[in-house]
């Protein structure tokens, strides 16, 4: 009897082990993750959203994945939108000294190009590294201040075709790579631009360099393909931001911000053929056509490499820009914060699907945390993994945004924007020290603000309420209409609750001076600023029609 029990026990133990192994085998492996985080796109730029300029590789992502119609950034500027994506937090929570010093301790945060990262910031790469991922980055950073001494040496270069120039550029690139590794928490950083190409210290390189960025991305993927770890790659192209994309045609791409690199020319597209297409176009259309050609070509090369390495079926790909474009860049208006987004994840995300679920860039950290089994991330980040797998699932009830001294909340039907000056600026306007109404950043001159104030008639209003269903271009402020008092109260309460745990206060009350004639005269002084005086405005945009003659 005792021997029989021994055999039964042994059999049961083996059965439990087999069942255990079976359960383990059924657990899906963590996916590789590629984020293609482009720079400044509108829906009509992409063929899969109805655009007229060919984007076949991006359209392929949409055909094989999920296309979002209600995705939002939380700040329609490069730096804070990138901060939000990488941290899962609103930019107003940034703890970097440069951000905290930008406004007084008693004033609301001034959210602009100032929400930087450092080695103390918890980011998506740091989270994924903790889950065994190899992490990498290539492209535009724009999340840290410039302070390296070699930058002045780069600015002084006259001839790039010398050993001295090559050594200087390589040294500056190593400094940039190290700064991004520390700030973002990446394992590998290749081909990194610290800000925009037209802000690079050496004027000879003030043009977009897609082949160099692509080479950096491909180099990481080649390394990741032979690693036993899953990988995360963040590629940040510079399209369609300035400088003018046609200026990048017919360049010798061996000269890069990282020194002389002849091998990167292999990643270029056929610029001669592209030049024949854009040569007769007006400047704004040529800019967008060339930029989208470079961008789409880069996406195609990344897809091709993943296929060559047999990685396409196990890789989650996200294509999304940091924000939308003029006339609402650097504002909380829909045109600035409403963004296209595509997710391709074979076997997990249905192909060719569309979702109307409302999501924000902050939500990617929570979503990735759920996918890889990481601890819960920032409370600002709400996972939408269910939406990825079941596109008909609802997303957020409310979306939020920040820009300068404005904050907004929307439920999809109504949008409320609060614009609150710090007391110091109000006093200067009242006593006549300021002879103009500052823009949302507390300034007189700022390009995007000059444009937005021209096209949004209630830009300077302290309280703004818009019915997005009937007024999608936000031209009619309903905040003072008694018929919408309940909607206004609900949205104000929601925004106040959202902001209640931020370190510095954002007042819902406002000074009656904002409603008077004196402030009206100051507004007129600011509105005399002409967008056509902005060097890149006519060149890159031409005549903006807003509201547009037809809905897109």
**Owner of token pair 């995360």:** 232
Mean pLDDT of 89-112: 93
What's the pLDDT at 320? 98
93: enclosing H helix or E strand: none
The helix, strand and coil proportions of the chain, stated in percent and rounded to the nearest 5, come to 45, 15, 45
401: enclosing H helix or E strand: strand 399-403
Mean pLDDT of 50-64: 97
State both tokens at 206: 């003030």
Q: What percent of the chain stands above pLDDT 70?
A: 95
Residue among 531, 523, 525, 524 at smallest CA distance from 448: 531
Q: Cα(143)–Cα(138) distance, rounded to whole angstroms?
A: 14
State both tokens at 77: 């500027």
The structural domains of the chain, with segments of one domain joined by +, span 32-77+118-347, 405-541
Instruction: Check the CA dihedral 428-434-439-445 and report its sign.
Output: negative
* CB-based burial label for 448 (10 Å; 0-12, 13-18, 19+): buried
Residue 495 CA: distances (Å) to CA of 91, 173, 333, 489, 507: 15, 42, 16, 10, 11
Q: How many CB atoms lie within 10 A of CB 51?
A: 20
Q: Cα(237)–Cα(264) distance, rounded to whole angstroms?
A: 15
What's the pLDDT at 105? 86
First to last CA, the chain: 81
What's the pLDDT at 384? 98
Neighbouring-strand partners of residue 402: 407
Mean pLDDT of 25-37: 84
What's the pLDDT at 24? 44
Q: How confident is the model at residue 104 (pLDDT cuts 50, 70, 90)?
A: confident
Asked if pLDDT for residue 78 goes beyond 90, the answer is yes
DSSP 68: E
What's the pLDDT at 9? 53
What's the pLDDT at 106? 86
DSSP string, 204-260: GG-S--HHHHHHHHHHHHHHHHTSSS-EEEEEE--TBSSS-GGGGTT--TTEETTEE
pLDDT digits (tens, 9 = 90+) for 353-362: 999 999 999 9
Sheet holding 414-419, edge to edge: 399-403, 406-410, 414-419, 463-467
pLDDT digits (tens, 9 = 90+) for 244-298: 999 999 899 999 999 999 999 999 999 999 999 999 999 999 999 999 999 999 9
Angle between helices 78-87 and 363-372 (to 10 degrees): 30
pLDDT mean across residues, the chain: 94
Asked if pLDDT for residue 365 goes beyond 80, the answer is yes
What's the pLDDT at 379? 92
Instruction: Check the CA dihedral 489-494-495-497 and report its sign.
Output: positive
Q: Cα(257)–Cα(260) distance, rounded to whole angstroms?
A: 8
DSSP string, 463-521: EEEEETTT-TT-----TT-GGGHHHHHHHHHHHHHHHTTSSS---S---GGGGSHHHHH
pLDDT digits (tens, 9 = 90+) for 137-185: 999 999 998 888 999 999 999 999 999 999 999 999 999 999 999 999 9
pLDDT digits (tens, 9 = 90+) for 407-436: 999 999 999 999 999 999 999 999 999 999
pLDDT digits (tens, 9 = 90+) for 489-519: 999 999 999 999 999 989 999 999 999 999 9
pLDDT digits (tens, 9 = 90+) for 449-481: 999 999 999 999 999 999 999 999 999 999 999
Asked if pLDDT for residue 7 goes beyond 70, the answer is no
| H runs (alpha helix) in 92-240 | 97-100, 124-129, 150-155, 163-184, 210-225
pLDDT digits (tens, 9 = 90+) for 203-231: 999 999 999 999 999 999 999 999 999 99
Q: Cα(334)–Cα(430) distance, rounded to whole angstroms?
A: 31
Instruction: Check the CA dihedral 477-479-480-485 and report its sign.
Output: positive
Asked if pLDDT for residue 17 goes beyond 90, the answer is no
Hey, what CATH topology would domain 32-77+118-347 get? Answer: Alkaline Phosphatase, subunit A (3.40.720)
Q: Cα(96)–Cα(184) distance, rounded to whole angstroms?
A: 13
Do strands 255-256 and 259-260 pair parallel, antiparallel, or not at all (unpaired)? antiparallel
Weakest mean pLDDT among 73-82, 485-494, 541-550: 541-550
What's the pLDDT at 2? 45
Residue among 189, 187, 158 at smallest CA distance from 175: 189
Asked if pLDDT for residue 18 goes beyond 90, the answer is no
């Amino acid at each position: 009897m005792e021997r029989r029990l021994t055999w039964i026990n042994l059999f049961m133990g083996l059965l439990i082990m087999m069942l255990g192994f079976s359960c383990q085998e059924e657990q899906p492996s963590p996916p590789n993750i590629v984020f293609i985080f482009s720079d400044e796109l509108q829906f009509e730029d992409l063929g899969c959203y109805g655009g007229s300029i060919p984007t076949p590789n991006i359209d392929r992502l949409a055909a094989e994945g999920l296309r979002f119609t209600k995705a939002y950034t939380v700040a329609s500027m490069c730096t804070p939108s990138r901060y939000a994506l990488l941290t899962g937090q609103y930019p107003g929570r940034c703890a970097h000294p440069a951000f905290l010093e930008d406004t007084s301790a008693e004033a609301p945060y001034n959210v602009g190009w100032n929400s930087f990262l450092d080695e103390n910031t918890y980011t998506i790469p740091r989270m994924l590294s903790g889950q065994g991922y190899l992490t990498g980055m290539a492209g535009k950073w724009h999340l840290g201040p410039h302070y390296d001494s070699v930058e002045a040496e780069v600015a002084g270069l006259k001839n790039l075709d010398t050993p001295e120039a090559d050594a200087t550029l390589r040294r500056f690139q190593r400094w940039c790579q190290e700064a991004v590794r520390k700030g973002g928490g990446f394992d590998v950083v290749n081909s990194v631009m610290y800000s925009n190409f037209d802000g690079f210290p050496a004027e000879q390189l003030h043009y977009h360099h897609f082949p160099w960025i692509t080479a950096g991305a491909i180099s990481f993927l080649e390394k990741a393909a032979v690693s036993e770890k899953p990988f995360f790659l963040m590629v940040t192209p510079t399209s369609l931001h300035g400088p003018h994309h046609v200026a990048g045609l017919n360049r010798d791409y061996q000269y890069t911000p990282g020194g002389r690199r002849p091998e990167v020319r292999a990643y270029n597209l056929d610029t001669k053929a592209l030049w024949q297409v854009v040569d007769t176009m007006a400047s704004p259309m040529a800019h967008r056509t060339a930029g989208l050609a470079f961008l789409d070509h880069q996406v195609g090369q990344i897809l091709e490499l993943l296929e060559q390495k047999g990685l396409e079926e196990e890789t989650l790909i996200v294509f999304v820009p940091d924000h939308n474009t003029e006339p609402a860049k650097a504002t909380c208006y829909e045109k600035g914060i409403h963004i296209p987004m595509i997710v391709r994840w074979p076997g997990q995300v249905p192909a060719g699907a569309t979702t109307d679920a409302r999501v924000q860039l902050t939500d990617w950290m929570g979503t990735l945390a759920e996918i890889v089994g990481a601890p819960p991330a920032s409370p600002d980040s709400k996972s939408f993994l269910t939406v990825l797998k079941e596109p008909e699932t609802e997303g957020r009830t409310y979306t939020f945004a920040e820009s300068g001294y404005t904050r907004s909340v929307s439920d999809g039907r109504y949008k409320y924007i609060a614009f609150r000056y710090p007391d110091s600026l109000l006093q200067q306007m009242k006593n006549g020290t300021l002879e103009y109404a500052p823009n949302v950043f507390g300034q007189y001159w700022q390009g995007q603000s000059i444009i937005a104030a021209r096209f949004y008639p209630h830009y300077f209003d302290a309280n703004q309420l818009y019915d997005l269903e009937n007024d999608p271009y936000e031209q009619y402020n309903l905040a003072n209409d008694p018929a919408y008092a309940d909607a206004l109260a609900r949205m104000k309460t929601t925004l106040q609750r959202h902001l209640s745990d931020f370190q510095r206060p954002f007042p819902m009350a406002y000074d009656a001076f904002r409603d008077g004639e004196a402030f009206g005269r100051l507004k007129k002084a600011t509105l005399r600023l002409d967008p056509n005086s902005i060097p890149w405005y006519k060149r890159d945009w031409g005549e903006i029609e807003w509201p547009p003659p037809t809905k897109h």
